[in-house]
Amino acid sequence: MSVLEIATPDDWHLHLRDGEALRYTVPATSRCFARAIVMPNLKPPVTTVADAAAYRERILAHLPEGHAFEPLMTLYLTDRTTPEEIDAAADSDFVHACKLYPAGATTNSASGVSRIENLYRVFERMEERDLPLLVHGEVTECGVDIFDREQVFIERHLIPVRDRFPALRIVLEHITTAEAVDFVLSSPANVGATITPQHLLYNRNDMLVGGIRPHLYCLPILKAQRHQGALREAAISGNAKFFLGTDSAPHERATKETACGCAGCYSAPFAIELYATIFDQLGALDRLEGFASQFGADFYRLPRNTGMIRLERAGNTIPASLPYAEDGTIVPLAAGQTLDWQLVTPQH
């Protein structure tokens, strides 16, 4: 196969940042994605419907002419989130989910939830109003090994939430372990998961063997090869519980290549080509459209996109760096590598 046409995909987990960053991140995503679930972990975080409305306008102000793109907004849950704010979100036509960050789990999560049980009244209202819960699934206790934090979170917190609120739609974001795959498969249809390109492409050996590669450092961190294999099997399985979410998270090169580098991989400029290359290598190109363009929309109860994009088989070398922010640069995921696919007809 030398040409691949699929329905226009969506990104169900995306960081656009704010301010000057939007000049770069919004065009990078809108070139091929029609919609994206936009993460709310700004400084300060997006905790109210009014915050989300203002952020949405700032995003749309940076949309290139001719690009048809809809940012799907989310609220950042804190210990102070109220059921009344959930009602306001559910009544809006632009807030599509709420995001749970355990306090200290990842970038800009200091305002996150200190004790998940504090939010049970909020989860109850989300279940009543059918507003999805998006979960960064890691515990943060220093006594838990970083490679075990997702598994412990599932056992300690997520299974009780799932069982206590059986009708609550839950997305376990950016899953990284075989245990996460098993949790999703063993849960009802209202529990799904997103999978990133970095967790399909790489494992912890790629990040650590022969020297530390800071641009592969993300949270949840890359895991062992057996976990990577489980994620690959899930992504290409055709199971509608698993769908595309890049977790594209831009950080300037200077903040990644430092004594204490930040977490996040920037995949947006080449996201669909990365996924196409992975699915092709796994012999599953025929299942890319479901994963990228159908299953997420179905889970969020939104119409599937009617437009199409076109990719061609061609050598596509990712640049070593890209411009970002004022006088800055950013290193994209898989920088310097040659992909097997090139987007030739973007969505408009």
67-95: per-residue pLDDT in tens? Answer: 899 999 999 999 999 999 999 999 999 99
Q: Dihedral of the CA atoms 202, 205, 211, 214 (nearest 10)?
A: 40
Answer whether residue 330 shows pLDDT above 90.
yes
Position 119 pLDDT exceeds 60: yes
| pLDDT (average), residues 109-132 | 91
Query: How far apart are alpha carbons 56 and 45 in whole angstroms?
Result: 13
**Residue 106: which pLDDT band, with cuts at 50, 70 and 90?**
low
The pLDDT score that the predictor gives to residue 107 is 65
Tell me: pLDDT of 127 over 90: yes
Annotated binding-site ranges for Zn(2+): 13, 15, 99, 136, 174, 247
Residue 270 is predicted with a pLDDT of 98
Which has the closest alpha carbon to 137: 114, 115, 154? 154
H/E stretch holding 232:
helix 225-235
Interval 310-323 mean pLDDT: 96
Q: Are strands 338-345 and 308-317 parallel, antiparallel or unpaired?
A: antiparallel
Mean pLDDT of the chain: 96
pLDDT (0 to 100) of residue 236: 98
Please indicate, yes or no, whether the overall pTM of this predicted structure exceeds 0.95. Answer: yes
247 annotated active-site: yes
pLDDT digits over 279-312, tens only? Answer: 999 999 999 999 999 999 999 999 999 999 999 9
Q: What is the pLDDT of residues 29-45, one digit of tens each?
A: 999 999 999 999 999 99
Q: How many CB atoms lie within 10 A of CB 66?
A: 8
Taking Cα atoms as reference points, which of 282, 277, 201, 286 lies closest to residue 238?
A: 286
Q: Is 3 exposed, middle or buried (0-12, 13-18, 19+ CB in 10 A)?
A: exposed
β-strands 70-76, 11-14 pairing: unpaired
Taking residues 40-57, report their average pLDDT.
97
Q: Helix, strand, coil % (nearest 5) of the chain? A: 40, 20, 45
pLDDT digits (tens, 9 = 90+) for 9-34: 999 999 999 999 999 999 999 999 99
8 Å CB contact between 18 and 54 = no
What class, spelled out in words, does domain 10-305 have in CATH? alpha beta
Query: pLDDT band for position 346 (50/70/90)?
Result: confident
Element (H, E) at 338: strand 338-345
Binding residues: 13, 15-17, 41, 99, 136, 174, 219, 247, 251, 263
Choose, from 247, 280, 286, 327, the residue flagged as catalytic. Answer: 247
Question: How many residues are present in the chain?
Answer: 348
Give the residue among 309, 314, 322, 301 at the shortest CA–CA distance from 341: 314
CB 14 within 8 A of CB 36: yes
Pairing of strands 35-38, 242-244: unpaired
Q: Which helix (H) or strand (E) holds 305?
A: none
CA distance 103 to 309: 39
pLDDT tens-digit profile of 165-194?
999 999 999 999 999 999 999 999 999 999
Per-residue confidence at 111, pLDDT binned at 50, 70, 90? confident
- C-alpha dist (Å) from residue 245 to 94, 170, 194, 211: 19, 14, 5, 28
- Rounded to the nearest 10°, the torsion over CA 59, 21, 242, 169 is -50
- Please tell me the predicted confidence (pLDDT) of residue 348: 55
> What band does 201 get if pLDDT is binned at 50, 70 and 90?
very high
- pLDDT for residue 154 is more than 90: yes
Report which of 185, 274, 187, 283 is spatially closest to residue 234, judged by C-alpha positions.
185
- Going from the C-alpha of 273 to that of each of 75, 122, 206, 239, 266, the distances in angstroms are 30, 38, 20, 21, 14
Under a CB-based contact definition with an 8 Å cutoff, are residues 285 and 279 in contact? Answer: yes
Listed in sequence order, the DSSP H helices in 8-70 are 22-30, 49-60
The Cα 229–Cα 331 span in angstroms is 26
Average pLDDT over residues 124-153: 96
Q: Binding site membership for substrate: which residues?
A: 15-17, 41, 136, 219, 251, 263
